[in-house]
Amino acid sequence: MSTRENYPEIREAVAKLCSQFPGEYWRKLDDTDTYPTEFVQALTEAGFLSVLIPEQYGGSGLPIAAGCVVLEEIQRSGCNGGACHAQMYTMGTLLRHGNEEQKNKYLPSIADGSLRLQAFGVTEPTSGTDTTRIRTRAERDGDDYIINGQKVFISRTEHSDLMVLLVRTTPREECKKPSDGMSVFLVDIRDAVGNGLTINPIKVMINHSTTELFFDNLRVPAANRIGEEGKGFKYILDGMNAERILIASECVGDARFFVERASAYACEREVFGRPIGQNQGVQFPIARAHVETEAAALMVHNAARLFDEGKPCGSEANMCKMVASESAWHAADTCLQTYGGFGYTQEYDIERKFRETRLYQTAPISTNLILSHVAVHELGMPKSF
């Protein structure tokens, strides 16, 4: 089966929904850095953001391959799933490591969309990619923990009710391993703002609702700790494979958007009395972008299959995210070049998608860190850090 053919009914339904949110909708939001509330609401009501939540908690209980199809089709249609993709997978930490009480309390409302869990707080200004050096600290005080510290680039906090937050509960120096001593909390943002949590928006080159967070003696009930104290890093890592596979499928969707737009434009734009796509100098880069996209799609397909079979897939998830984000970027560059000057105008949506797709070589993990993982864990070379 081609990588474009699985879950045809989901593909068709997502494409139909997205057709109600054309380029002009996104351009207006982009101009004013406004969150796509109506789009996210429509996806929520249609049940597309709860496909991975088990049926017993009110979701559709579908495999990750189905989630991939949803996000791929969103991107392929020119929309931006970055506004809400985390609602699909952030709940995985709660699902895998939360206790029954927490799952029964939160998952049904996350599934029906009345509770938004789409903020995920890991990155800090001083630690960067070196997560074990995070400094945000939670200290036990009776039935609560008191949190102090700072996070940066935490997306969608202004459009989320809950946040999965990684903090240190034991200083790094006192731990056997640097990755010990971190814990995960489910923070209720609605209670926290004004009571120890301050959220400041960060303006970036895309409309991504990302923010900086300051924690000043924020009290969080111990009942909101997910899993055991000190094991948080492992819980976060467990969720990363799903995140990478899903984001890789968004990149495949972006790449398909660019390849389809570029080939259509190359057929219709006439210069020197013939379509520009008749020149091999124009058609070969588009054909190459298509080949790279299909290779990436196969890698995403394979990683999703391993994930759904419950097999180890850390390297496959990382590798497919790297190849997919690069194929999307090459397709974006090729599409911009194919459109000539018109690619730079806002009305064709190429420049917007070009900016948006660049993110995935940096977040949620940058390409160098993936190469380092592959070098060490697949090829047995010494770790550099």
Which of the residues are catalytic? Answer: 243
Could you give the string, one character per residue 113-142, with x where binding to ligand FAD holds by CB under 6 A and - elsewhere? -------xxxx----xx-------------
155 binds ligand FAD (CB under 6 A): yes
365 binds ligand FAD (CB under 6 A): yes
193 binds ligand FAD (CB under 6 A): no
Binding ligand FAD (rule: CB under 6 A), the pick from 199, 204, 374, 376 is: 204
How is residue 135 annotated by DSSP?
-
Could you give the string, one character per residue 54-93, with x where binding to ligand FAD holds by CB under 6 A and - elsewhere? ----------------------------------------
Residue closer to ligand FAD (CB basis): 62 or 226: 226
Residue 32, C-beta contacts closer than 8 angstroms, at least 6 positions apart = none
Closest CA to 296 of 75, 120, 93, 92: 75
Strand partners, 146: 139, 219
Binding ligand FAD (rule: CB under 6 A), the pick from 66, 95, 107, 154 is: 154
Residue 149 · residue 136 · CB < 8 Å: yes
301 binds ligand FAD (CB under 6 A): no
Tokens read off for 5: 């053919």
Residue 150 — φ and ψ, nearest 5°?
-150, 140
Binding ligand FAD (rule: CB under 6 A), the pick from 41, 200, 279, 368 is: 368
How is residue 375 annotated by DSSP?
I
Residue 140 · residue 207 · CB < 8 Å: no
Q: How far apart are CA 31 and CA 274, in angstroms?
A: 36
Shortest distance, position 320 Cβ to ligand FAD, whole Å: 17
178 binds ligand FAD (CB under 6 A): no
Residue closer to ligand FAD (CB basis): 61 or 314: 314
255 binds ligand FAD (CB under 6 A): no
Shortest distance, position 357 Cβ to ligand FAD, whole Å: 12
User: Quick check: helix, strand or coil at residue 4?
Assistant: coil
253 binds ligand FAD (CB under 6 A): no
210 binds ligand FAD (CB under 6 A): yes
Return the range that interacts with ligand FAD (CB under 6 A); candidates 13-21, 46-54, 322-330, 363-371: 363-371
| DSSP string over 144-206 | EEEEEEEEEEEETGGG-SEEEEEEESS-GGGSSSTTSSEEEEEEEHHHHBTTTEEEEE---SS
Q: Where are the alpha helices (DSSP H) in the chain?
A: 8-18, 23-32, 37-45, 64-76, 85-89, 91-97, 100-112, 189-192, 232-268, 280-308, 314-338, 350-358, 367-373
Q: How far apart are CA 29 and CA 27, in angstroms?
A: 5
208 binds ligand FAD (CB under 6 A): yes
Residue closer to ligand FAD (CB basis): 261 or 373: 373
Binding ligand FAD (rule: CB under 6 A), the pick from 153, 215, 265, 354 is: 153
374 binds ligand FAD (CB under 6 A): no
Return the range that interacts with ligand FAD (CB under 6 A); candidates 20-28, 152-160, 187-195, 331-339: 152-160
27, with CB counted inside 10 A (0-12, 13-18, 19+), is middle
Binding ligand FAD (rule: CB under 6 A), the pick from 79, 293, 359, 373 is: 359
Site size toward ligand FAD (CB under 6 A) is: 23
User: Which residues in this chain contact ligand FAD in the complex, by CB under 6 A?
Assistant: 120-123, 128-129, 153-155, 204, 208, 210, 359, 362-366, 368-369, 372, 384-385
